[in-house]
Homo-oligomer: A and B are copies of this chain.
């Protein structure tokens, strides 16, 4: 965890429009003054499952994973989030504790606002609450849709799905450095680590990918899309 960055100001924040577009500059400034900005390095926990929810948190920079530890001790990854996708929101209005852990999978920066303050704002400013709810429902829908999409695919389709997710949605590039391990891919798609590794090797042998450790280059995009959609 690095030091706070004093240069950040809500007024100039790219994320302001996300849920503060109906909040007056004065109110925003008040909130802003007591906000805390924190930096996390890749691998750091931002939120731990079971912790009390005391802050309203959103992601300014970076990439995180949402996960939980199942009763048998195995981790399950629910989704990945970049800025504009919400982070802490899933439980803050319905639970006292976080149901999921949030971990930085790239160096990340978050903003923390006092939850009681945000709740007070939400209780008085209906438009703010509407904006919040719209974001929240869009993200929830996305996660559910993604989970259903993965559910109906086989191993190869699931691995292709993850690769396309990072390529198309996160990095917007056919070459990228995979931010997660093979094990984490497995935890995300619900398969074993060995089978994820094997499948990646197959894709390499089939000249669909070039792989250098975590560096991935999608060579045959069409075929990968086809595998993702039709097995």
Q: How many residues of A contact B (CB 8 A)?
A: 44
**Cα-based distance from A136 to B95 in the complex (angstroms):** 12
Please name the residue on chain B nearest to A125 by beta carbon. Answer: B126
Interface centre among A76, A128, A130, A136 (most CB of B within 10 A): A130
Looking at the assembled complex, report how far the CB atom of A128 sits from the nearest CB atom of chain B, in whole angstroms.
Answer: 8
**Cα-based distance from A152 to B133 in the complex (angstroms):** 30
Verify if A161 is at the interface (C-beta below 8 Å from B).
Answer: no
Give the residues from 144 to 179 in chain A that come closer than 8 angstroms, CB to CB, to chain B: 144-145, 147-149, 151-152
Please indicate the chain B residues that have their CB under 8 angstroms from the CB of A68 in the complex: 148
Q: From B134, B138, B141, B190, give the contact of A152 (CB < 8 A).
A: B190
Looking at the assembled complex, report how far the CB atom of A122 sits from the nearest CB atom of chain B, in whole angstroms.
Answer: 6
Please name the residue on chain B nearest to A142 by beta carbon. Answer: B94
A90 and B124 in contact (CB under 8 A), knowing A130-B129, A147-B147? no
Q: From B122, B124, B136, give the contact of A136 (CB < 8 A).
A: B136
Looking at the assembled complex, report how far the CB atom of A165 sits from the nearest CB atom of chain B, in whole angstroms.
Answer: 17
A123 and B133 in contact (CB under 8 A), knowing A147-B147, A148-B78? no
Q: From B94, B124, B149, give the contact of A138 (CB < 8 A).
A: B94
The answer to whether A140 and B90 have CB atoms under 8 Å apart is: yes
Please indicate the chain B residues that have their CB under 8 angstroms from the CB of A76 in the complex: 148, 151-152
Please indicate the chain B residues that have their CB under 8 angstroms from the CB of A125 in the complex: 126
The answer to whether B229 and A99 have CB atoms under 8 Å apart is: no
Top 3 A-B residue pairs of the complex, sorted by shortest distance between their CB atoms: A94-B138, A126-B126, A129-B129
